[in-house]
Amino acid sequence: MNSIKECDFVLKNISSYIDKDLDKTCCEKIKKHLEKCKDCNREYNDIKKILDLCKNSFVKMEKKDKEKMYKNIDKLLKKE
Ligand SMILES: [Zn+2]
C-alpha cells in the first residue's frame, strides 16, 4: 500500500527528479517510491520517454522553457 500523500509528493517532483534538480534526500525518497509504486513508475516512464524523444532539442533549452514543457507534459498525462 502506498499513501496518497507519498504519490502526490512523487508526482509533483517527478520532473525535477528526472532533471536531477532535487536534493539527495528527496531523490532517494522518490527512487524508493518508484520501485514499489506501479502508478508512479508508469508516470515516470511516460515522462522519461517523452523527454528521451526530444532529448537533443531539450538539452539546448533554457531552464524556464524546460519547466514550461514539464507543465505541458503534466497536463497531458493528467488529461485534464
Ligand atoms: Zn506512487
| pTM score | 0.65
Q: What are phi and psi of 72, to 5 degrees?
A: -65, -40
Q: Over 70: is that where the pLDDT of 58 sits? A: no
Residue 31 CA to ligand 1 center (angstroms) comes to 11
Residue 46 CA to ligand 1 center (angstroms) comes to 14
Q: Can you give the residue ranges of every domain in the chain?
A: 4-78
Q: Over 90: is that where the pLDDT of 13 sits? A: yes
Give the count of alpha carbons within 13 A of 20, CB side only: 0
Candidates 52, 44, 39, 42; CA nearest to 27 is 44
Tell me what pLDDT residue 31 has: 96
Residue 56 CA to ligand 1 center (angstroms) comes to 29
Exposure class string for 9-20: b at 16+ Cβ within 10 A, else e: bbbebbbbbbee
pLDDT-derived band at 79 (thresholds 50, 70, 90) equals low
Mean pLDDT rounded to a whole number for the chain: 85
Residue 68 CA to ligand 1 center (angstroms) comes to 23
